[in-house]
Amino acid sequence: MWVKICGMTTPAAVAAALEAGADAIGFVFAASVRRVTPQAANELATAARGRVPCVAVIRQATQQEFDRILADVPCSGTGTLARNPEIKWTLKLEDLSDLQSRQVAILQSALAQLAVGGRLVYSTCSLETEENEAVVEANCLGAANCKVVNIKPELEQLRRADELCLEDIASLAAGPYLRTIPGVHPCDGFFAAMIERK
């Protein structure tokens, strides 16, 4: 069973995911209670009804454990500056601190719902260390119940299966993490960490 945790789940986003072929049993978890009203939760469920065996919008933590979790957290978006240049004028230094505290809390909550042996992908479209490595390390460094999985062997496996077309896989790995850089890679800047529950 999978779950996607994000800060901006909308009926349109669910519909787009379903159109893209999301056919697994799973849950859409909206991480911000303020953003998901009962009406919006109903719209999300309606968008997926009949297309996914089980989709729920959860406004608070659940006791259920999941084998796979995607924590696509709200972030500064600095990896998308080429497409969103207004970020450089609207982003303030104190925003990073606020975002980081929310990201740490979301990741902590998501890890609590990860089944033993399960894997979680923490991702942002940010280039900032405060939103990426620092968040993962705040939750995993010294933790006995989780470990960061080295992303490079996973990327090599995708390459062998012809699921990844980029030749220079090493350029995607920054330590155990995945990092894309605009101008170096043919996409926006992204960060991802894979975490496994022990």
Q: Which residues does the annotation mark as catalytic?
A: 125
* C-alpha distances out from residue 192 to 23, 44, 47, 130, Å: 23, 26, 28, 13
Quote the distance between the C-alpha of residue 30 and its chain's center.
Answer: 12
| Contact status, residue 55 vs residue 9, Cβ threshold 8 Å | no
Cα first-last separation, the chain:
18
Taking the C-alpha atoms of residue 154 and residue 61, their distance in angstroms, rounded to an integer, is 29
Query: E strands within 92-181?
Result: 114-124, 146-149, 173-174, 177-180
